[in-house]
Each structure stands twice: as C-alpha cells, then as structure tokens.
Structure 1
Amino acid sequence: MKNILFVLCALFCLSSCEDFLNLSPDSQPNANDFYKTESDFNGAVMACYQTLRSYPTMVLEVLEYRSDNMYMPSFTSGSQDKYEINHFQDNKTNSLIADIWKNSYSAIFRCNVVVDRIQGAGINADKKTQFEAEARFIRAFHYFNLVRLFGKVPLVIHEITDDEALKTPREDVNKVYEQIAEDLNFALQLPSKYDKSDLGRVTAKAAEGLLAKVYMTHGKYAEAKVRLNNIITKGECDLLSDIKDVFDVNNEMNKEILFAVKYSKTLINGGHGMWLSLSDITLGHFSSVLKKSYDVDDKRAELIQYKKTGSVYLPVKFYDTQDVSTNQVGNDFIILRYSDILLMYAEVLNELSFNTDVTSKESGFYYLNQVRNRSGLSALTSVEVPSQGEFKKVVLHERYLEFPLEGNRWFDLVRTGTAKETIKAAHNIDVSDFRLIFPIPSAEVEKVNNPDILPQNPEY
C-alpha cells in the first residue's frame, strides 16, 4: 500500500489531464461524465501531484545555475541553454525557461479542473475539502515560482478556453501574491498527517510553511511570524541530529520534511534519473566559492561531495543506487524542511526587532544557532553579530550553506537585494537589473501577439 500515491499517479497520467477537456467519442466518457466519484477526483488530484515531478529539473538546471552555487566555465553540446543562464546571457528563446512556463501552466490547468469541478461533486465533504485544498496548494506553489521568475504573469484560477487564454493579460505581482496566499490559507484545512498509504500528500504544516515563505518573500514579516511560530510550537517537526540522515533514501519523509516530491524507483516510471551524475568528478560545476565557504567542522560540506554509485558519481545529497529492474533511482526531492522554517523565523524576528538575548525565543539567534549547532558550528552572539544588518547577512550566509541544490539560493539573493553583488563577487559577472527576472518565452508572446496582453519583459 505504501506506493499507492505513485500507482494512482501513473495510472491517471498515462493520458494527459488536458485530454478530458475534449469531447470524446460516444464509446468513451467525456470530462463531464468523468468527474463523478471520489475515486475520479482522487485520480485528478494525483494528476496535479504528477506535475511536480519536473520541479527538480527547474531547480537543478535553472535556479542553481542562476545562483553562485554553480559555475560552468564552458558548454558542451546540449548544455548551451544552461550555460547562458549561468552566465546571464539567456534570451527569450531559451528552452529551459520555456519549459518552466509551459509545465507550470499545464500544472495550473490541472489544478483548476479539480477546483472548478469539485464544487458540485456529491462526495464525502471532508474528502471534497481535502482534494480542493491539495489542488490549491499545488496551484499556489506553481504561481509562487512563476511570479518570482517572471514578475507579472497571467493569473488563471478557473478552466478557460484557448481563446480566453489568449486574451488573459499579465496580472500585477501583488494580485498574484494575494491569490497565492488565498489558496494556501484554504490549504490550512488539510490533515496534519496521513497513514502510510497516502504518505507524501500535502499536509497542513506544508501549507503553513509555504505560506510563511510567501509572506516573508513579499515583505509581510508579521504575518510570516505567526505561521512560522505555529509550526515551531506545534512540535510536529524537528531537526534530525545528523543532517546526512535528512537525505538518506532509507529515511525519507522523516520528521524534518514538511513537503517533498515523492518517487519510487521500483515502479516503472515511478523513479527518476540520477541528478547531477558525473563519470569524472573533475567536471563538476559546484562553484569554488561555495566549496570554500564551509568551515572545516561544518558537516554540510560533505553533502556536496561526490560519492561513487555503480560507474558514476553522485552528490552525497542525492546519493542512491539504481534499481536493477527499472534502472532508476528514487530519491525524494525535498521542497520544504524544518531547518528552513527555523532560518526563516530567525530572519523574520530580526526584521521585526533585533534581539541580542540568545536564550530568548523572541530572538533570531535562538533559531539560527539551532541550525548551526546541528551542523557542528558554534553558537553566535551579539559579540560576533552586533547589529540587525549584520544578522541579516549571517542568516543569508547560513541559508547558503544549508540549502545548496534545493532551489532556495537564487530566490534568496533576489528577495534580499544581494544578487548583483554576490554574482559579481563569485563569478565576476555584471548582472543587469532586468535579468533579475527571466524573459517570457518568445513562443508564448508570439502566440498571443498582443503587447497589451502579454508584453515581453523589458530589455529582453
């Protein structure tokens, strides 16, 4: 039973969810006939989860290469798009950026189908709320990525026709954030946990954690504080004593994980290929700046070292062995974990008030030091960090050491206004202001063919 999430996802997604919008032959049910039972809607929700499987590609080929975590000195055949992103030379025809836009809106479409069609469904009320909340969480997650990557984006929260899509304008960033927050507040109704058969579904704490990150990113620190404090005081999550255990494939969905993309390497199409595998570790792209940033006692340094598995090498953070039947690996991809909650809380408390009492639960030091101590580093005090501004820099640096390969760094640099100076120091690249967001894919702009509806981002 433990793999039911993968099985349902695989069965439902053999045909794309979009196919249900088209009228089908009389011998097959059309969309209106399909969404009737609890099982139907559960399958539709699984199709929403399935869209998250592309998220690691976005992180590892776009977000990490946009940051100072990775550096490509040159490109080989097939890696030019990634090189251009890494060197801030990307343009509106970059295929990796186009895939993010396409995959995100395809995912949002699936979520909208669930949200719209479940309204009149004659199913169990609790399940009805759960399914809508799951779909709205996933929709919010995709919009959160889109608005941070592209700025203003079309905001579509209902099923629409192709013609309507071509007439949907880019929405103000604040309006997009309002919708994201609305969806995540609804998702707070989700269960706090599931039994093993449903392990990996979104929980209330995942919704609250993502909502906190949304508020913090949007500068709403008081609202973020409430959500982060709720998670911490409930005691449902905790730091594991050894950080390597967080990423151990035999210890997935442990107490530190709030939400992760689930995989199973023993199921056909249930696992994935090896992330960042190398046949020659000298060809790795971890930046020298990142590798040199770790103190000799920092246990996290090992996670970006390479370890051999079969004939190739993998980062320890993503280490697994291939299944002999499927030739896949099955690491989950962690989206949100408890150390992120603690470091966000440290940052938020500091933004609201600089408190030098390291023993106070109203001091950012209290939460920052929990993460540092777990990593083998000594606690910091106001002697080493004497001001609010210095504390902000220290938390940003701690996040740098804690979350490489997890998709946080580029977004952290942009929201703290430190992207340009950081990339210049790390790679000696001058980053223009307009490159703090990505271009709208040219295919999408040309499809709409109306600058009043879908204009290109300036200077692209």
Structure 2
Amino acid sequence: MKNLRIYILSAALLSLVACSKSFLDTEDVTSATEQNFYKTPDDAWKALVGVYDGLQRIWSGGFAFPVASVVMSDEAFGGGGNADGFGLQMIDEFDKLRSPSDQNMFGDTWALYYKAIYRANMLLLHMDGVDWKGNDDLRKTYEAETKFIRAYCYFDMVRLFGNVPLITKPTTDNVPQTSVDSVYKLIADDLKFAAANLPAISYGGQDAATRGRVTKWAAESLIGRVFLYYTGAYNKADLVGEVSKAQVLAYLEDVINNGGFGLVEKFANLWPAASLNNYVGEDNKETVFAIKYTYTSNWNGNVDGNNWLVMYGIRIQSIYPYGMGWGGATVNPKLWDAYAPGDSRRSASIISIKDEGLDFQNIKDQREYTGYCIKKYTPMADAAGRSLAEKMGGVSFMISQYQDYVSIRYADVLLMAAELGAAGAQNYFDDVRKRALGASFVQLPVTQANIMNERKLEFAGEGIRYWDLLRQGINVAATAIAGSVTVQNGGVNTTKAILASKVTETKGLVQIPYAQITLSNNVLKQNAGW
C-alpha cells in the first residue's frame, strides 16, 4: 500500500469538485493543511464534501463497478471494439489467458476506492479536533454520512476483490489483506451508526442545497443488501457485527412504512433513454440513494461526470435518441428472451436494434454484437446526432455524461423485505410485478426462486444481478453465467463460450492489480485463478 503516499495530504482536505445540481458546490480549500484545518464546523463541512466527492470519483477511472458487475453476470458480454484488446473478455470469461498482459484492469479502481476511504478516515480521525460549539447532532450527522460512504466503498471492494487491506486510519504502511469477516464487521458497524444518526428525510425532503446526501433510509436499505449478500455468499445466519435477520427486516420495514417512498407509476419513466419526454427526473420518489453526476467535467481534473456511462453507448454511432459510446456490455439475448411479452421492463431496460428499427452501421467495428444494448444507462443524443452532454455545455461526450447512478431503488427495498419474510411480503412482491406487467399480471407465490427471477428482470443492467447470483452460491452463479452463444465479431458469426470452471476457479472475484502487489513488496496476495 505504499502508493497511498501519492495522495496522503492532498486528497484528505479537498472538496475539489463543483456539482451544480447538488450540494457539492463549495470553495476549493487547497491551501489548507492538516494542522490548520478541521477546526470549525465549516472546515468539517468542506471535508465532508470532499468525502462525497471521493465517492463520486471512484468510477472516474479503471473498470467501473456497475460495468464490471454487468459484464461478469449472465446479463451481458464484454463487447467493445473488434480491434481492441481482450481485457473485457478476460473479465467476462474469468480467464486471465484471454489477455495475459492486462494485469491492471482494476488498477485505477483500486486506487480510487482507497482514496475515497482515505478521505473518510481523515475526517473521522479529526472529528474530536473540531469545535462543534455544542452541536452534537451536527457532529453525529457528519460522522454518520462519512461512515456510510466508507461502508459503501468497502462493500464494493470486498465483493470485487475478497480479502482486502482494512484501513481505518490514514497510513503509509503496507497493510496486509484481512479476512472478509473483519471487513464486514466494519461495514456493519458503520452502517448501524449511520442508521441511528442520519436524518429521517423523505425522498422529497432535501432542498437543492443538500440534495444527494445520505439519509437514514439509505443506510437501513444498504444494511439489507449487505446482509443478504454476506449471509448468502458465506452461508451465515447473521451479519457479522451482531446483525440478525429480524433486525435487518425491521430496518427495511422502517424504510417502507416511514420513508415516504413509492414506486414510479410507469417503469420506463425511471430512465431517460426509455421515456424521453416522460422521464420523471432524478431524486424521484423511488430513489433511495444515488451517486450524483453532472456535465461540468473537464480535462483539467474536474470529474463531475459519469465517465463509465459511455461504455454502454452504441459503438461509435449516434442513433437518436441514443448517443455514441464504446459498445461495451453487449446484452446476452437470453436476457431479452427472459421477459414475458407483456413485461414493460424489457423495452425499458434493453435497446433492441431490430425491434426499434435502428440502422446500426458499425458492425465491422463491434465485438460480440448481439443486437441488444443496455438502455437504462446509455448516452443520449438529439435528432441531429449531437451528444446531449455536449449540448448542455459538457466538453466531451466521453467525460460529460450526467445521468446519476441510482444505487438503491425502492423496488429493491420491497423485494428484499419480501425475501426476508415480511408480513406484507406478497403485497410487496405483487406491487413490483403489477407495475411491470399491467393487465397481464398474474399473481405468483413469494418463493426464493420467484424473487430471484423477479430481481433479474427488475434490475437488469443496474449492477445488481451478478451479486444476486453469487449470494446463491458460486456453483449457482457459474451455471447461470456459463454457456455458449453465437455473436458477431466484426460482422462474422463467432461462438462465444464462458466456462463454469473458470467462474468457480476464481470464486467470482476479480484480479487484484499486479501493480499494487508490486508496490506492496508482495505483501498483497493475488486471488486464485488470476
């Protein structure tokens, strides 16, 4: 972990980014030092904004978590350009021999997560040095927000990499990897503190100056997600940190009964590219927590934009209303086929080139073309083919995408509560399905198999499916992901094969960047299969 030294002082104190559509507008404090900072509540506020900014930046480089989650699942293939390297295929197929030279696919990802964690640790370390002027509630709120973000980052890290260094205080030491239980203990403790001390503000309760901040409901919902993943993937009864199933269900029921959330009436209206003029907008009543972006990124270090969205765009071509991108994560046809004909989520989640009558002209430049692309998160263009991000003032479609990543939706809360055996489980399950199916709705019983299938259909392309597979067991995941299908590489029919043995060999984990292993003087150990 010696590479931590490159951001020891600068990253901890800076707010750095201005995000015009949320509370992230703040002055730069680059002249501050650790000695003269962290004295007043205003100092703490600026540092907290820096923590949020760290969260916003975690996917500004490397292989972004939402994209990796989709590519590794049974939802999509690597895709990309037909003349590109095979890094995406290496990740998609869990096979390092597909691209042996790509030893640092997650290099920037690793570093950016630890930068965000470092910022959180610095603020937590200096909480006692701030003169809170007797406002203990303010301190607890700032501490709770910071701990939520630290937990969020570690939850991503431990799922991706397995055993990771657990760093809770700023350090330049080579910290060895620790057990997953130790990481989950910190996650659980941080989230319990956040749930107990964050404001119980409803989805519409935040004004423009504070929109995007973590609430009690986000913490309680994330505890549900962490519990289900940990207990499933590691075959445990409770979440380490003494969090039982009954406690988690109480958290989720609190969100349902008191959070003020609801399902947006039409599923398509949740997504800009699926609804156009009927899009309900960001921070709608279904958004429990989102990572916020805007178009003001530039080439000089401002990274407000959603840099990973362009991966999903149609390969080097704008076809109204879809903007151009890199053609990554081409959708597996079996996902399209999994939807019932009357399910509104199919056309809202997936772009079907054929069914939408689109003129795709760059098939010779596209690898693993299937005729399907992700719609929920895709760049957009106007009728003339101009990127909406650039039209709004962004410097480039590559770095100025502005769509928020909705990390937790209310539909997820309902389905998690149903899965955990809530008294209202059937109603929760039915509510999600009724919206999707409309007049074709037929009630199904609440079973584990039915819930998992519903989650596959409801959250397609949102970076959730892969983790739902893994928490059912590595063999279940491997069986779902493995298979053989015909795709087109450069317009030529090609067999795409993923072996179940490769998924199980890696245990579903990704490659720890070899550069980090070298920097640690081999203190860090590589995951099996990589």
| Shorter-chain TM-score above 0.5 | yes
Specify the alignment match of 1:45 in structure 2. Answer: 48
Return 5+ residue gaps in structure 2 as ranges.
Answer: 1-18, 232-237, 239-244, 273-278, 320-325, 363-371, 381-387, 486-496
Task: Tell me the secondary structure at the aligned position of residue 196 of structure 1.
Answer: coil
Measure the CA separation in 1 of the matches of 2:24 and 2:528.
42
Deviations 1:39-92 (A, max 9, x none): 222221122212233456523431111111112467534452222111222469
Q: CA deviation at 1:292?
A: 1.2
Task: Tell me the secondary structure at the aligned position of residue 130 of structure 1.
Answer: helix
Contact 1:208 1:227 in 2 (8 A): yes
Q: 1:62 aligns with which of 56, 60, 68?
A: 68
* Structure 1 residues 215-230: aligned runs within 5 Å: 215-219=227-231, 220=238, 221-230=245-254
Q: 1:298 aligns with which of 321, 328, 343?
A: 343
Q: CA deviation at 1:95?
A: 3.0
1:187 pairs with 2:194: yes
Q: CA deviation at 1:323?
A: 4.5
**CA spacing shift, 1:102–1:78, aligned 2, 3 Å:** farther
Specify the alignment match of 1:171 in structure 2. Answer: 178
Contact 1:256 1:337 in 2 (8 A): yes
Match for 1:380: what amino acid? Q
Percent same amino acid at aligned positions? 29
Q: CA deviation at 1:237?
A: 1.1
**CA spacing shift, 1:258–1:297, aligned 2, 3 Å:** same
Contact 2:265 2:435 in 1 (8 A): yes
Measure the CA separation in 1 of the matches of 2:120 and 2:183.
16
Q: CA deviation at 1:267?
A: 7.3
Return 5+ residue gaps in structure 1 as ranges.
Answer: 16-27, 350-360, 386-390
* Structure 1 residues 366-445: aligned runs within 5 Å: 366-376=427-437, 378-382=441-445, 391-417=447-473, 418-425=476-483, 428-431=497-500, 432=502, 433-435=504-506, 436-445=508-517
Task: Tell me the secondary structure at the aligned position of residue 468 of structure 2.
Answer: helix
Contact 1:213 1:224 in 2 (8 A): no
1:232 pairs with 2:277: no
Measure the CA separation in 2 of the matches of 1:446 and 1:429.
30
* Structure 1 residues 192-341: aligned runs within 5 Å: 192-193=200-201, 194-219=206-231, 220=238, 221-248=245-272, 251-265=281-295, 269=302, 270-272=304-306, 274-275=309-310, 276-278=312-314, 279-280=316-317, 285-306=330-351, 315-318=374-377, 320=380, 321-324=388-391, 325-327=393-395, 328-341=400-413
Deviations 1:273-326 (A, max 9, x none): 553222457967111111111111111112234489xx9998542364324222
Measure the CA separation in 2 of the matches of 1:51 and 1:92.
29
Contact 2:411 2:432 in 1 (8 A): yes
Q: CA deviation at 1:106?
A: 1.2
**CA spacing shift, 1:245–1:459, aligned 2, 3 Å:** closer
* Structure 1 residues 356-375: aligned runs within 5 Å: 362=423, 364-375=425-436
Task: Tell me the secondary structure at the aligned position of residue 258 of structure 1.
Answer: strand
Q: CA deviation at 1:365?
A: 2.9
* Structure 1 residues 24-39: aligned runs within 5 Å: 28-39=31-42
Task: Tell me the secondary structure at the aligned position of residue 376 of structure 2.
Answer: helix
Q: CA deviation at 1:159?
A: 1.5
Task: Tell me the secondary structure at the aligned position of residue 407 of structure 2.
Answer: strand
Match for 1:147: what amino acid? V
Specify the alignment match of 1:99 in structure 2. Answer: 108
Match for 1:291: what amino acid? W
Q: CA deviation at 1:187?
A: 0.8
Q: CA deviation at 1:454?
A: 2.4
Task: Tell me the secondary structure at the aligned position of residue 96 of structure 1.
Answer: coil
1:455 pairs with 2:525: yes
**CA spacing shift, 1:241–1:458, aligned 2, 3 Å:** same
Contact 1:2 1:197 in 2 (8 A): no
Measure the CA separation in 1 of the matches of 2:33 and 2:119.
16
Q: CA deviation at 1:179?
A: 0.6
**CA spacing shift, 1:2–1:449, aligned 2, 3 Å:** closer
Contact 1:372 1:378 in 2 (8 A): yes
Q: CA deviation at 1:235?
A: 4.4
Measure the CA separation in 2 of the matches of 1:185 and 1:87.
37
Q: CA deviation at 1:420?
A: 0.6
RMSD: 2.9
Contact 2:58 2:113 in 1 (8 A): no
Contact 1:216 1:224 in 2 (8 A): no
Measure the CA separation in 2 of the matches of 1:368 and 1:94.
43
Specify the alignment match of 2:92 in structure 1. Answer: 86
Measure the CA separation in 2 of the matches of 1:2 and 1:88.
39
Q: CA deviation at 1:401?
A: 0.9
1:6 pairs with 2:24: yes
Structure whose residues are more often helix by fraction:
1
Q: CA deviation at 1:138?
A: 0.6
1:129 pairs with 2:140: yes
Contact 2:67 2:463 in 1 (8 A): no
**CA spacing shift, 1:439–1:263, aligned 2, 3 Å:** closer
1:343 pairs with 2:379: no
Contact 1:206 1:259 in 2 (8 A): yes
Measure the CA separation in 1 of the matches of 2:418 and 2:448.
9
Contact 1:63 1:407 in 2 (8 A): yes
Contact 1:5 1:197 in 2 (8 A): yes
